[in-house]
Structure 1
Amino acid sequence: MAHSKTVPNTNGSKNIYRLMFNEFKKRQLGYSTIAIIAQSCLGSAAAMALLMGGMDMVLKMILLFFVTIFCMAFNGAVLAQLKPLTTFNLLILSVVFSSLVIIAHII
């Protein structure tokens, strides 16, 4: 009886990403619907935090542009029914960027 060697998985973040993507892919329609609402609210909060902040107007508008583009890119990917990997990556990009903007303005 032959035994295959098992290599321990030391990259936990890649494993979590893969598990989340597989779950998203299985139930893409439902998760996309919920994600549009959630990431749009998060993007709106990031835009509000930017506009209420006291930073330079040019930097504020550049960051606001990117928050808006990332949120709209995900919404467009869902509406265009792009591949699940593209849609999932745009969701992560949008949520991470909006969260970083909010956290930067809280600190």
Structure 2
Amino acid sequence: MTPSGTEQHTNVFTRIHHQWFTEFKKGQMGYATIAIIGQSCLGSAAAMVLLMGTLDTAIQMTLLFFVTILCMAFNGAVLAQLRPLTTFNLLIMSVVFNTLVVLFHII
């Protein structure tokens, strides 16, 4: 309910993001540590399938650049102890992008 007494309709993704972020913020140190390991492994798998693929070299290297940058951005955000929301959003972006790269090359 909003202060005016009307119900506020939120997007499903917004609610899920908020729930997951709240949980991440509670145990940020532990979740960030586990996430570094997981998303680094996922990023390595994405880099491997990219380099094994048959895409044009320019496209391949561009995608590899984004895989690397997103993984490094999250790792850097954790090490620099940036705000939890920034760190969490970088984690989500990295995991989604790397998963899409892997799935695209598997299919």
Answer whether TM exceeds 0.5 for this pair: yes
How many angstroms apart in 2 are the aligned matches of 1:41 and 1:19? Answer: 25
Q: Secondary structure at the match of 2:48?
A: helix
How many angstroms apart in 1 are the aligned matches of 2:88 and 2:10? Answer: 23
How many angstroms apart in 2 are the aligned matches of 1:59 and 1:78? Answer: 29
Amino acid at match of 2:96: V
Amino acid at match of 1:88: F
Gaps of 5+ in 1: none
Relative to structure 1, is the Cα distance of residues 24 and 51 closer, same or farther in structure 2, using a 3 angstrom cutoff? same
Q: Map of 1:1-107 to 2, 5 A cutoff?
A: 5=5, 7=7, 9-107=9-107
How many angstroms apart in 1 are the aligned matches of 2:10 and 2:32? Answer: 30
| Alpha-carbon shift at residue 78 of structure 1 (Å) | 0.2
CA RMSD of aligned residues (A): 1.2
Q: Secondary structure at the match of 2:44?
A: helix
Q: Deviations over 1:1-58 (max 9, x none)?
A: xxx8452645211101000001001110000000000000000000000000001111
How many angstroms apart in 2 are the aligned matches of 1:10 and 1:28? Answer: 25
How many angstroms apart in 1 are the aligned matches of 2:86 and 2:68? Answer: 18
Q: Secondary structure at the match of 1:61?
A: helix
Gaps of 5+ in 2: none
Deviation beyond 3 Å, 4+ runs, structure 1: none
Percent identity between the aligned chains?
68
How many residues in Structure 1 have an aligned counterpart in Structure 2? Answer: 104
Superposition TM-score, scaled by structure 2 size = 0.92
